[in-house]
Amino acid sequence: MRIMQSQYSSMDDAHLAQIARTDAHAFAELYRRHVIGIYRYHRAHTDNDRDAEDLTSQTFMAALEGIRTYRASGPYIAWLMGIASRLRARFFRGIRFEVPLDAAVHLPAPSLPTDKAAARRIQMDQLLDALRTISRDRREALILCFICELSPSEAGLVLGKKDTAVRMLISRGLQDLRTRTSLALDVDYE
Note the pLDDT of residue 6: 66
- The per-residue b/e assignment along 39-54, b for 16 or more CB within 10 angstroms, e otherwise, is bbbbbbbbeeeebbee
CATH topology of domain 109-180: Arc Repressor Mutant, subunit A (1.10.10)
Question: Per CATH, the architecture of 5-92 is what?
Answer: Orthogonal Bundle (1.10)
Note the pLDDT of residue 149: 87
Block means of pLDDT (10 residues each) for the chain, 190 residues, are 68 93 93 94 84 94 94 91 91 58 51 65 72 88 89 92 95 88 60
Note the pLDDT of residue 48: 80
CA distance 109 to 117: 8
CA distance 131 to 139: 6
Q: What angle separates helix 24-45 from helix 13-20, to the nearest 10 degrees?
A: 120
